[in-house]
Amino acid sequence: MERVARMSELKGKVAVVTGGAGGIGAAIVMKLAQAGADVVVCDCGVPNEAARVVEQVESLGRRAMAVLIDVTDRAAVEQMYADVVTAYGNVDIIVACAAVSSSRKVIDLTWEEAHRTIDVCQNGVVHTCQLAAMRMVQQVEDGRAPGRIVIIGSVHAEVPFSGAAPYNMAKVAINQFCEHLALELAPYHINVNTINPGWIDTPNEHRKFSEESLVDGARAIPWQRLGRPEEIAGIVQFLVGDNVSYMTGACIRADGAMLPALALHLPEENS
């Protein structure tokens, strides 16, 4: 009985997930669809992956559409929302998940690559959430239930990992953006919250790291493994569900105790 209720908790809701065609984003899309939502899969330059996720949502009996845009293109984000409202009527849930990163020390970065990371991970989140917020406020004024916004941050917002300055900068900025947006949307009871995932086992990580270093990395995490995209998606489902009504401007870290485990190490341990 409880399970049935949970399965239909988001029935009639329209969700937009940026970065929704792969990794954490795709897991979020599926989790929201399983909970009853119709889902817009927004991603950049991966039409096949986006189509596959859309198909999977439709196989659950929910509506889905793919929108292939770059979240740094503010006009394209606005157009996406206009199209979503035309197709589905409303925008109820926004999950800003799109991100890119580069691994280089500041002295070795080109401004182009630094800017690209900041533009996607920070400015893209601002466009995604702020443009949605404008519509959600109007929807509340029109009598619809308040929307929900979830921002996917990172443990990089809490720890300035070496070799990732632009990503660190962007993630900490959107952690704070969440507070600003929550403050402004509080009168409308639109919740805005952030999840800071730790090291999550996504296809991207397998492209970036050898299998051996992923195994080593997993061993260093107190939970003894990387996180799963579904585990982040589960927190998103919680944040957009009926159990959350008073939480806003908050940040949840999900990292298998990675951050509490940060410790000093003697140099020879690194070799």
Q: Which stretch binds other proteins (CB under 8 A): 18-26, 144-152, 154-162, 201-209?
A: 154-162
Regarding 30 and contact with other proteins (CB under 8 A), the answer is no
Residue type, 155: V
- Is the CA virtual torsion 231, 235, 241, 243 positive or negative? positive
Considering beta carbons, is residue 118 or 236 the nearer one to other proteins?
118
> What is the nearest approach in angstroms of other proteins to the Cβ of residue 247?
18
The string of DSSP codes covering 73-142 is: -HHHHHHHHHHHHHHHS---EEEE---------GGG--HHHHHHHHIIIIIHHHHHHHHHHHHHHHHHHT
Regarding 248 and contact with other proteins (CB under 8 A), the answer is no
Residue 141: how many CB atoms within 10 A of its CB? 9
Q: Which stretch binds other proteins (CB under 8 A): 47-55, 116-124, 214-222, 250-258?
A: 116-124
Regarding 28 and contact with other proteins (CB under 8 A), the answer is no
What SS3 class is residue 26? helix
The string of DSSP codes covering 168-233 is: HHHHHHHHHHHHHHHHHHGGGT-EEEEEEE-SB--HHHHHHS-HHHHHHHHHHSTTSS-B-HHHHH
Among 6, 115, 225, 228, binds other proteins (CB under 8 A): 115
88 catalytic per annotation: no
Marked catalytic residue, from 81, 167, 188, 246: 167
> What is the nearest approach in angstroms of other proteins to the Cβ of residue 81?
15
Regarding 106 and contact with other proteins (CB under 8 A), the answer is yes
Regarding 122 and contact with other proteins (CB under 8 A), the answer is yes
Residue 253 near residue 196 (C-beta atoms within 8 A):
yes
Among 87, 183, 215, 262, binds other proteins (CB under 8 A): 183
Considering beta carbons, is residue 130 or 204 the nearer one to other proteins?
130
> What is the nearest approach in angstroms of other proteins to the Cβ of residue 68?
22
Residue type, 181: L
What residues act catalytically? 167
Site for other proteins, rule CB under 8 A: 74, 105-107, 109, 111, 114-115, 118, 122-123, 126-127, 130, 133-134, 137, 157, 160-166, 168-170, 172-177, 179-181, 183-185
